[in-house]
Structure 1
């Protein structure tokens, strides 16, 4: 195993595993049944076809941006507040490598959990529709191809967006509550445009948010020597 791999395993051992797994089960449980809930309780328009419900399911998975914030709080902010990161910075390993391991750990965790969520939501929605005839028509090969391709792309996108609070609220300010608020805002960002009647291109918004996430990661690693002891 590489040194980065060992550092990532160390991050997993330091994590409050029972709390994180409990939180993760809640996310999966809610997101599994949320598409059908929207059809039954919010609008039957979502059940017009599988292509319609797929778009809803994709947007629902943005909930994992909040899970990313939870990991930032535990993996980065809590260590600064508890001073345990000072001990890690005393190891004969560069700070940049330590932060890189933390970023990779958070990224891989969010990405894999989002993939699993997509799969669980897709299977649950199909099975409930199979037994209760909630969605009009049947899923086509094109629908399945779209879903699986977007599952990969959007899981990557959600991972990057979840890292936007990392530098400013995590490495620099070490602020737990603002990190969560930032994640909540990012989750609902595109909905605000509808509420305010602002016409924006969703794809361009997602690209912009992904670039912000990438910039946050870059700054977190690049600037850790300057802000790490503040």
Structure 2
């Protein structure tokens, strides 16, 4: 009985230790993320996102009213067309926006060697890099979702008054669109890491941003009503590729010379 009790107690102790280590790791990551956001001025990121929302909404409203008044061959022929184009523009915008964040959080610090100052502290290098990447990934994911919610609501509200876009707007359509937005947001967040792989080779901001534009041109281009991103497997596969290649780029960060 004593032996069984000891074994049981031992298992409990090991479980508690593992749980403690796990929670401590999460706490460290959260602390690093907060430091990065504070250092990078979170308010600047928020204002950048709000400006992007405004630009996208203005462009879509311009398209909506110009096409609606002329009425010859409108871009928004139905609600699915309208919601799809909104999503494409939002994802394209924030994939490029993410490359700017990556340049600020990663490329500049490696190019200017300031990352070496951070590595001089007793902080796990992998956790520090992971915190930076998690900021960009999460920021892109959330912005794609929030922008879709706000701009979708705006155009649906406007169309309820003007009626340029015809056809039913059903709950089933909105549910399907919502699920698609979630998957596309994850895809965009993963794809947003791909420019970092190219930019880190030469420590070049211009290469990072240019590669994000190239990705957008390939994946988010909207030709004759078709876009590669409409095949959900493509953005999800590119997202997985972005995460995997980023991991390969920094898996040996402890041996990397940044001095």
Matches of 2:203 and 2:182, distance apart in 1: 31
1:25 paired residue among 22, 39, 50:
50
Alignment of 1:44-83 (within 5 A): 44-62=73-91, 63-83=93-113
TM-score, normalised to structure 1, is 0.86
User: 1:179: how far off?
Assistant: 0.6
Point out where structure 1 has 5 or more consecutive residues left out of the alignment.
Answer: none
1:12 aligned residue: 37
CA displacement, residues 21-68 of structure 1 (integer Å, 9 cap, x when unaligned): 332122111222433433444684332221221221221122210111
Q: Any runs of at least 4 consecutive aligned residues in structure 1 with deviations exceeding 6 A, and if so which?
A: none
Matches of 1:179 and 1:41, distance apart in 2: 35
Matches of 2:97 and 2:42, distance apart in 1: 14
Gap change, CA 1:59 and 1:193, over 3 Å in 2? closer
Matches of 1:41 and 1:146, distance apart in 2: 28
SS state at 1:70 partner: helix
Gap change, CA 1:228 and 1:97, over 3 Å in 2? farther
1:190 aligned residue: 219
Gap change, CA 1:110 and 1:207, over 3 Å in 2? closer
User: Is 1:173 aligned with 2:198?
Assistant: no
User: 1:202: how far off?
Assistant: 3.6
Instruction: Give me the CA root mean square deviation.
Output: 2.8
Gap change, CA 1:138 and 1:228, over 3 Å in 2? farther
SS state at 1:20 partner: helix
Matches of 2:203 and 2:95, distance apart in 1: 18
Matches of 1:162 and 1:222, distance apart in 2: 19
Gap change, CA 1:55 and 1:200, over 3 Å in 2? closer
Gap change, CA 1:141 and 1:23, over 3 Å in 2? same
Gap change, CA 1:23 and 1:44, over 3 Å in 2? farther
User: 1:142: how far off?
Assistant: 1.7
Give the conservation status (yes or no) of the 8 Å contact 2:198–2:211: no
Matches of 1:205 and 1:34, distance apart in 2: 26
SS state at 1:98 partner: helix
Give the conservation status (yes or no) of the 8 Å contact 1:165–1:216: no
Aligned length: 228
Point out where structure 2 has 5 or more consecutive residues left out of the alignment.
Answer: 1-25
Alignment of 1:38-117 (within 5 A): 38-41=63-66, 44-62=73-91, 63-117=93-147
Matches of 2:90 and 2:43, distance apart in 1: 22
TM-score, normalised to structure 2, is 0.77
